[in-house]
């Protein structure tokens, strides 16, 4: 949770924010374990581009594939984003800023010859792993 985040408007929102972690989320761990089960080996939490502080959740350096597991709330999932009504402008700017940054990250990586795979937190790990396998050229 960002340091300048407004006080949560309700205990429900507060509880949700408390569950948010920047790395090693349940969805990331599930995807990683599925990839590992399929025999894929990768690096975790790596910034693929030198000098660019954007970390991918799962990275295949040789295949040049960067995988991001995007949390539905923070990354504005069209199916699950919920806009807090309290401090609405702050939250909208925050989430829309994250989405813009994601697209900018994609563009920078693609320009540098990387393939980007984005997996939503809500997707079953098997579906995410299928997309990763396709990107690394295994199927
Ligand atoms: Zn979602």
**pLDDT digits over 3-54, tens only?**
566 666 666 666 656 555 466 899 999 999 999 999 999 999 999 998 888 9
Q: How far is the CA of 80 from the centre of ligand 1 (A)?
A: 4
Distances 35 to 20, 91, 132 between C-alpha atoms, Å: 23, 33, 8
Q: How far is the CA of 110 from the centre of ligand 1 (A)?
A: 24
Q: Are strands 65-70 and 43-46 parallel, antiparallel or unpaired?
A: unpaired
Q: How far is the CA of 79 from the centre of ligand 1 (A)?
A: 5
**pLDDT digits over 64-96, tens only?**
999 999 999 999 999 998 888 999 999 999 999
Q: How far is the CA of 51 from the centre of ligand 1 (A)?
A: 31
pTM of the model: 0.83
**Residues 6 or more apart whose Cβ sits within 8 Å of residue 119:** 27, 31, 67, 68, 69, 70, 127, 128, 131, 132
Q: How far is the CA of 118 from the centre of ligand 1 (A)?
A: 12
pLDDT class of 100 with cuts at 50, 70, 90:
very high
């Amino acid at each position: 949770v960002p340091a300048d985040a407004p006080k949560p408007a309700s205990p429900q929102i507060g509880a949700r924010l408390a569950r948010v972690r920047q790395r090693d989320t349940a969805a990331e761990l599930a995807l990683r374990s599925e990839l590992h089960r399929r025999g894929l080996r990768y690096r975790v939490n790596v910034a693929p581009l030198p000098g660019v502080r954007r970390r991918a959740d799962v990275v295949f350096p040789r295949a040049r594939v960067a995988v991001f597991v995007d949390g539905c709330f923070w990354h504005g999932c069209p199916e699950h984003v919920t806009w807090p009504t309290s401090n609405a402008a702050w939250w909208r700017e925050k989430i829309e800023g994250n989405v813009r940054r994601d697209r900018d990250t994609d563009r920078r990586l693609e320009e540098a010859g990387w393939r980007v795979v984005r997996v939503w937190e809500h997707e079953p790990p098997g579906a995410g792993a299928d997309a990763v396998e396709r990107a690394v050229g295994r199927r």
